[in-house]
Amino acid sequence: HECVTIFFSDIVGFTDISGSFKPLQVMNMLDRLYYAFDVAARRHDVFKVETIGDAYMAVSNLVKKQDDHTKRIARFAVEAIRMANQTMLDESRPELGCVNIRVGFHSGPVVASVVGNVNPRFCLFGDTVNTASRMESTSEKNRIHMSEAATMNLLNQAPDMDVECRGRIQMKGKGEQMTFWLNPPGHREDFGFSRQRSATLQGDSEQPASDAHLPSKPPMVGRIWGPICSVTSSPVSSGKNLLSEQAL
């Protein structure tokens, strides 16, 4: 498959939760959480690959052609966080609060196959899987972390979505990578125009300083907020460097 988008999530503090909850309580929490995720996966037509402990893996553009595959995963990711935040850790003890998750996704090529003949599993192989997993592991509580390739796809498939440039981070086995946040609808941090401004993509023009911190729909692909990032290549989906950071 030349290009899919892979989603990973895990639960913040799961090791502590497992240490303080009885196994049956952990199983009950995961069952309620994954049931909600499965409902969302069907709603957004993304394919659930597997769950391993507290990790949930899904993919789009794999079992059927989906030209908007990154948008589907992005919207699924937003809903997954919302659903997690509505899932109580323990229904008998509501004072413990609800689940918090980390989310990450990446777009690129994969090979898919069923492996083994005893309890066979449908698996995905390739560096795209590793990168998607790194996006999740380097994410933050209740945030959606994206690679460059996924971000470029998303800006073309859903230019109205709220993307924020995180900047360059060190990733295990990958070195320094430029990554991005996807913010949920209605979320907008005021970065302060004197410190940072929105990135201008090809075909876009500067906004007046008075309203430069406000979201608007550009004429082409989308707007990135945060440290300045500009398009350096046409959008494709194989994990190549697509965006680069510029000094303010």
d(CA 180, CA 74): 12
From the list 237, 246, 248, 188, the residue with the least C-alpha distance to 61 is 237
Predicted model pTM = 0.79
d(CA 150, CA 190): 24
| Three-class SS of 24-78 | HHHHHHHHHHHHHHHHHHHHHCCEEEEEECCEEEEEECCCCCCCCHHHHHHHHHH
From the list 152, 228, 154, 148, the residue with the least C-alpha distance to 191 is 228
Q: Could you report the per-residue pLDDT of 206-222, keeping only the tens digit for each?
A: 343 333 333 443 333 34
Cα-to-chain-centroid distance, residue 207: 28
Q: Could you report the per-residue pLDDT of 52-105, keeping only the tens digit for each?
A: 999 999 999 999 999 999 999 999 999 999 999 999 999 999 999 999 999 999
Count of helix runs (H) and strand runs (E) in the chain: 5, 12
Asked if pLDDT for residue 186 goes beyond 80, the answer is no
**Band (152; pLDDT cuts 50, 70, 90):** very high
Structural tokens at position 239: 């994990």
**Band (188; pLDDT cuts 50, 70, 90):** low
Residue 172 has a pLDDT of: 86
